[in-house]
C-alpha cells in the first residue's frame, strides 16, 4: 500500500484506489513534516510547503512529489532527481478559470458594472452611463500561452478581431487559434480597442506596458491585467486614466499585494478590481486537487508520462557540472543575437562523452527560456516540457569525431528569419564559448558582450573602440575570429556596462560593420 501525505490545503476529491492510504494534514508545520516524511511514498503540496534538499533527504522512502498548480518553484528539482524522486504538477488546471476572470474584468470594465453597483448601493439610480460593446472590435493579447490562447478562443465567440504579440510562439499556433500574430508590440497596440496581458513577470516584461504603450492604444480603450502585477506600469496607468485617454481598466493583480486601501488605482472609479482570483473557482480547485492526486498515483504505479524530471543520471549530473552552465549560456546567447521567432533548436555533441550528455541539452533549453519566463519557473527538468509547450522542437545529435577540441557542444537556433550557431567547450573545468557561426573565438560566457560582424580590413576595431570610448563604455576584453584574410570576420567585445540604444544605433551606423548584436550572460 502506498502512503501519501498532503501538507497544504486543496480539494482532492475521492480516493478510488484501494492501494493508497491518504493522510490529509493541511498547513502541517515544517518541523512535523521532517519528522514523519520518512514513512511516506509520496508528498502532495501547493506552494506553501518548501520541498527543499533537506526535506527530500528526510523522505527516505519518497518516490513522487506532486505539486498542485502550475509551477514547481518550491520544489528542488535537481535534489529530487539526484535522489530518484519523480516530480509532477498540473499546469493546465486553472487555464479556464484564469481566462474567464480576464473576460469578467473586461466585460465589467466595459459596461461600468462596479461603478453602477456602487451607486445603486448609495441610492443613486444612474441610467445615463454608456458602456462599450465588443462586437466587431479588436482585442490585443500580449502573451499567447495556455491562458492567452483560451482568451483568444473566447474573443472569437464575441465576433472580435484578435491580434497578439508573443515573440516566443510559432505562427502555426496563432493560425490554429485564428489569431493575427504581429512582430511589433506597437503595431498591436495601435489597433486594439481592448488589451489584455498574459505573460509571466520577469525582467523582459516588467513595465512592458508603460505610458508610451498606453498612449499607443486608441482613445477610449479598455486595459485588463489578470496575469502578474507590474507588467502594466501602475503609475503610468493612473496617469493615463486620469488624463482621460482610457475608458476603463480591470485589474486582478498589483505590484504589491494586498495594495493599500489608499492606492490611487484602488480608489479610481474607472478601475474594476478582484483580489488575485485567477485560479479561485470551485472547478479549478477541484481540477488541481483531483489531477495532482491522480498523477501522483499513476506515477507511483509506473506511468512516467507526467514526470518532469525523468532521464537524468545522478552521476552524469555530477560529471557535467562544468557543461551544464555552458549549455545554459549558449541557450541564453543565441536568442539574443538571432533575429526572428524561434522555430527549432538543435544541440550537437562532438567527441566522446563518458555519460549520456542529454542533460546538457536540457540546460540549453533552460537558457533559452530563462529570459522569457519568470525567475525560477524553468529549470533542468521542466525546460523541455516548457519548450514543447511553445511548439519549439529540440533535437540532439552525437558525432564521435572531435571538432577543434576533444569535446564540444554546438547549438543551432533556427528562426523564421535565420539560423545561427554557437559552440562551447569546458577548458580547465571552466565553460568557454569557442565559436560563433563559422568563426572561432574563445570567450568567457559572462557579462555584456557585443558581437560584431565585419569585412576583414584594417581600422575596424579602432573605429569601434573610439566610438565606445567617446560614449563612456569601457571595453573589458576582446576576441577576434575570421574565415580567411580579407573575408568575413567576427569579433566579440566584453564591456563593463550595457551600452544604451543610442550607442548601439551608432555602432550599427558605422560603415565598417555589417552587424552588431548585444548579449548579456
Active site residues per annotation: 228, 257, 276
Q: Tell me the chain's radius of gyration from C-alpha atoms.
A: 26
Q: Which residues contact 178 (CB under 8 A, 6 or more apart)?
A: 152, 156, 162
- How does DSSP classify residue 232? B
Look at the block and give the residue holding cell 516530480.
87
In angstroms, the CA 23 to CA 29 distance is 15
Q: Would you say 233 and 143 are in contact if contact means Cβ atoms under 8 Å apart?
A: no
Instruction: Give the pairing of strands 342-351 and 180-181.
Output: unpaired
Burial 104-141 (b: 16+ CB within 10 A, else e): bbbbbbbbbbbbbeeeeeeeeeeeeeeebebeebbbbb
Residue positions counted in the chain: 521
**CA torsion angle for 164, 168, 173, 174 (degrees, to 10)?**
20
Directed axis angle between helix 323-337 and helix 358-370, to 10°?
40
**What does 76-128 look like in DSSP terms, one character per residue?**
-HHHHHHTT-EEEE-TTTTHHHHHHHHHHHHHHHHHTHHHHHHHHHTT-----
Amino acid at each position: 500500500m502506498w502512503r501519501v501525505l498532503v501538507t497544504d490545503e486543496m480539494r482532492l476529491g475521492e480516493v478510488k484506489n484501494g492501494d493508497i492510504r491518504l493522510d490529509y494534514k493541511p498547513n502541517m508545520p515544517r518541523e512535523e513534516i521532517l519528522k514523519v516524511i520518512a514513512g511516506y511514498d509520496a508528498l502532495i503540496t501547493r506552494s506553501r510547503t518548501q520541498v527543499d534538499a533537506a526535506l527530500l533527504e528526510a523522505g527516505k522512502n519518497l518516490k513522487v512529489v506532486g505539486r498542485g498548480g502550475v509551477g514547481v518553484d518550491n520544489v528542488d528539482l535537481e535534489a529530487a532527481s539526484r535522489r530518484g524522486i519523480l516530480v509532477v504538477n498540473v499546469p493546465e488546471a486553472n487555464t479556464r478559470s484564469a481566462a474567464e476572470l480576464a473576460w469578467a474584468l473586461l466585460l465589467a470594465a466595459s459596461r461600468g458594472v462596479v461603478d453602477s453597483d456602487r451607486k445603486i448601493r448609495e441610492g443613486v439610480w444612474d441610467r445615463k452611463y454608456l458602456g462599450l460593446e465588443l462586437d466587431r472590435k479588436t482585442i490585443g493579447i500580449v502573451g499567447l500561452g495556455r491562458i492567452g490562447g483560451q482568451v483568444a478562443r473566447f474573443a472569437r465567440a464575441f465576433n472580435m478581431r484578435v491580434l497578439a504579440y508573443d515573440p516566443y510562439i510559432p505562427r502555426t499556433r496563432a493560425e490554429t487559434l485564428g489569431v493575427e500574430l504581429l512582430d511589433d508590440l506597437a503595431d498591436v497596440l495601435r489597433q486594439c480597442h481592448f488589451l489584455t496581458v498574459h505573460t509571466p513577470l520577469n525582467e523582459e516584461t516588467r513595465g512592458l506596458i508603460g505610458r508610451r504603450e498606453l498612449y499607443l492604444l486608441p482613445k477610449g480603450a479598455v486595459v485588463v491585467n489578470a496575469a502578474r502585477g507590474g507588467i502594466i506600469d501602475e503609475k503610468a496607468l493612473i496617469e493615463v486614466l486620469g488624463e482621460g485617454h482610457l475608458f476603463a481598466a480591470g485589474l486582478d493583480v498589483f505590484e504589491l499585494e494586498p495594495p493599500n486601501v489608499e492606492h490611487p488605482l484602488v480608489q479610481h472609479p474607472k478601475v474594476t478590481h478582484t483580489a488575485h482570483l485567477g485560479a479561485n473557482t470551485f472547478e479549478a480547485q477541484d481540477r488541481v486537487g483531483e489531477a495532482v492526486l491522480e498523477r501522483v498515483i499513476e506515477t507511483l504505479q509506473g506511468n512516467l508520462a507526467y514526470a518532469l524530471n525523468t532521464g537524468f543520471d545522478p552521476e552524469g549530473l555530477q560529471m557535467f557540472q562544468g557543461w551544464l552552465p555552458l549549455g545554459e549560456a549558449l541557450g541564453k546567447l543565441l536568442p539574443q543575437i538571432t533575429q526572428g521567432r524561434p522555430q527549432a533548436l538543435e544541440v550537437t555533441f562532438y567527441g566522446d562523452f563518458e555519460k549520456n550528455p542529454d542533460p546538457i541539452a536540457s540546460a540549453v533549453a533552460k537558457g533559452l527560456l530563462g529570459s522569457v519566463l519568470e525567475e525560477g519557473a524553468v529549470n533542468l527538468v521542466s525546460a523541455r516540457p516548457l519548450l514543447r509547450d511553445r511548439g519549439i522542437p529540440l533535437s540532439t545529435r552525437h558525432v564521435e569525431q572531435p571538432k577543434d577540441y576533444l569535446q564540444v557542444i554546438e547549438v543551432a537556433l533556427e528562426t523564421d528569419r535565420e539560423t545561427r550557431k554557437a559552440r562551447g567547450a569546458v577548458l580547465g573545468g571552466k565553460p568557454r564559448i569557442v565559436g560563433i557561426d563559422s568563426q572561432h573565438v574563445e570567450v568567457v560566457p559572462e557579462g555584456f558582450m557585443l558581437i560584431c560582424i565585419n569585412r576583414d580590413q584594417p581600422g575596424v576595431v579602432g573605429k569601434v573602440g573610439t566610438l565606445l570610448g567617446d560614449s563612456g563604455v569601457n571595453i573589458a576584453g576582446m576576441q577576434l575570429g575570421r574565415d580567411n584574410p580579407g573575408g568575413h570576420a567576427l569579433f566579440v567585445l566584453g564591456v563593463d556596462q550595457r551600452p544604451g540604444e543610442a550607442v548601439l544605433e551608432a555602432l550599427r551606423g558605422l560603415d565598417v560593420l555589417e552587424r552588431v548584436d548585444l548579449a548579456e550572460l
